[in-house]
A and B are shown apart, each in its own frame.
Chain A
Amino acid sequence: MGFHIIVCIKSIIANGLYDRVVCSSDSRELNPYDRPALEVALRIKKELSGTITALSMGPEPCSFALNEAMAMGVDRGVLLCDPALAGADTLATSNALAAAIKKLAPFDLVIFGIRAADSDTGQVGPQTAVLLDLPMVTGVHSVEPKDDGLIVERSADGFLECFEVFFPAGLAVHSSANRPRDVGLLGIELAFEERQVKHWNLADLDISADRIGEGGSATQVLALSRVENAGKCEFLSGSAVEQVEALIDRLSASGVI
């Protein structure tokens, strides 16, 4: 099969969580944080040859995100699609993805975006890597292939960390890693003409029902509400110099500067 990269992507809700959203492909979009991850995979593929599989989990309209990934140059797309998978928290999602990734083996690299723009947890990547017993570096902004592994860099708290990882490995790619390529018309045409999204249901995965979906979730969302920010205007008093000093104090106390 040659070098094989699996990129896990998510189709997220585009219109906000409070509208009555009918789950259709118009209300969802490819998680923007997954685009730099796909771009990393495409660049590695160009350097090392091989193939890329995009993997996602969700109802049928989520397959369009896989089509978009294929339009960017990914070779195949797999959608885990089964009512039993619904209602999953990040742990149940990771369980399902890990089972699918095992089925897609052999692989050399599993790549995730840093987080999903709708749920914002950033947990699925690291959890899946642990379930697969893969070394993982998160928040990666630079990736250099070398021999049987990668040299990767990440920033943390003002420090630059450099790691060497050997295949098979996992990465979570930071949004600043690259400027993802735009989707071209030829890519879209080829993606829909030549490449079909494969659909896998629970029967295709070697995993028990109590580890996926709502039943396999360790956490549960009890409530979701919008934070209202009542804008207010405060006038600072005193001379210009006093106002400036007061302003600096306020801004640094609130962490803005």
Chain B
Amino acid sequence: MDTFLSEKHRTIRRSVRTFCQREVQPIAKEIDQEATFPWEVVEKMGKLGYFGIQVPQTLGGAGLDTVGYIIVIEEISRACAGLGLCVTVHNSVAVYPLLAFGSDEQIQKWVPPLAKGEKIGAFCLTEPNVGSDAAGIESSAIRTDKHYFVNANKVFVTNGGIADVCLVFTRTEANAGRKGLSVIIVERGTPGFVVGDLEDLCGVRSNPVSSIRLYDCRVPLDNLLGKEGMGLRIGLEALDTGRIGIAAQAVGIAHAAFEEAVRYSRQRYQFGVSISKHQAIGMMVADMATKVDAARLMVYRSAVLRDQGKSFSQASAMAKLFASETSSEVTDLAVQIHGGYGYSKSYPVERYYRDARVTRIYEGTSEIHRLVIAKGVLGD
């Protein structure tokens, strides 16, 4: 039903869908069960430009617009939510802040290998005591003549287990609250950079989420992104864009569940007919179809506003809120439509159900988004 999209955008969708059908879908169940990261597929994705989707072509990226970007994320997530997560976090909250706030030297150094997928990016904000309350960050970076000494304990870092380039949110000025935060780029392999154990998660299990701890990491002063004190601003701007990607991920998961539910309902016979002929199921399918479509259109709108250079924070907050809650509802209905089989790992819907749940939590919880949206409507 996206016939209103340009032929280019539909070609993007078809190409990613074909790739995922061939390379991702056959392994999606296994990499979820085993919680393994599919390096071979990721390497192929790198060559196709999936890790530099909106990076300018002069820097080795594909130079797509935001509408193209969300289509790629949705299609990858439809096949495997953990891989979709890897690609959207890398693009939106690792590469994008570098492009938006980086010096020419920083951009030339890090963006080309990130854009080709030769290096993977991560965004290190969350700490054991710091979730929604980002201003309470305890990690510190002490400045000397030539270096920062960074101490940080970051948890739930998406791509953490494999990330090469980490944007670490730290406090560069004590007792300065929200204004004392800065972003420092730290590379894996820096002495004192320790990757913790991988988290054993309910869903998105193919993504290597882990903690990252920095023990007196000596980092060049040139690795400061933007200026000291800009940390919160960089974080919020990154998350504004990241929200659109997560919303697209949620739509991909919901759509996959919806398709499976429709397929199953046509094959399953009870009381002499396929269950798709029972009104109770028909009602569920109608709700699922409508909500997935509405969520997708909200994501498109955020993307279009961003591409037009207009303010999109409110639109992206609404899209993320609605798409993530929709994905939970739709995957739940998909399990219900499958009945007992929906509860078994022999069918994919239980994976979609588990994958959907986290979309209401990360990159801003639903509660935080409601605060943001309310403030956008009511003012302070």
Contact = CB atoms under 8 A, between A and B. Distances in A.
Contact of A185 (B3, B12, B44): B12
Contact of B11 (A24, A186, A188): A188
Interface in A183-203: 183-186, 188-189, 191-192
A185 B64 contact: yes
B74 to A, nearest CB: 14
Contact of A189 (B14, B44, B57): B57
A67 B7 contact: yes
Contacts of A64: 7, 10-11
A29 B14 contact: yes
Nearest to A24: B3
B18 interface: yes
Given A182-B48, A185-B50, A185-B72, A68 B11 contact: yes
B245 to A, nearest CB: 15
A189 B10 contact: no
Contacts of B50: 185
A142 interface: no
Given A182-B19, A182-B44, A188 B12 contact: yes
Nearest to A29: B14
B10 A182 contact: no
Given A182-B44, A182-B48, A186-B57, A26 B18 contact: no
Contacts of A26: 3, 10
Interface residues of A, number: 17
A8 interface: no
B62 A189 contact: yes
Looking at chain A's contact residues, is the secondary structure mostly helix, strand, loop, or mixed? helix
A71 B57 contact: no
Contacts of B62: 184-186, 188-189
A182 B12 contact: no
B57 A185 contact: no
Given A64-B11, A67-B11, A68-B15, A186 B49 contact: yes
Given A67-B8, A188-B8, 14 more contacts: A29-B14, A64-B7, A64-B11, A182-B44, A183-B11, A183-B19, A183-B48, A184-B15, A185-B50, A185-B72, A186-B57, A189-B62, A189-B63, A192-B11
Interface of B: 3, 7-8, 10-12, 14-15, 18-19, 22, 44, 47-50, 53, 57, 61-64, 68, 72
Name the 7 nearest CB pairs between A and B, nearest first. Answer: A185-B62, A185-B49, A183-B15, A184-B48, A192-B8, A186-B62, A186-B49
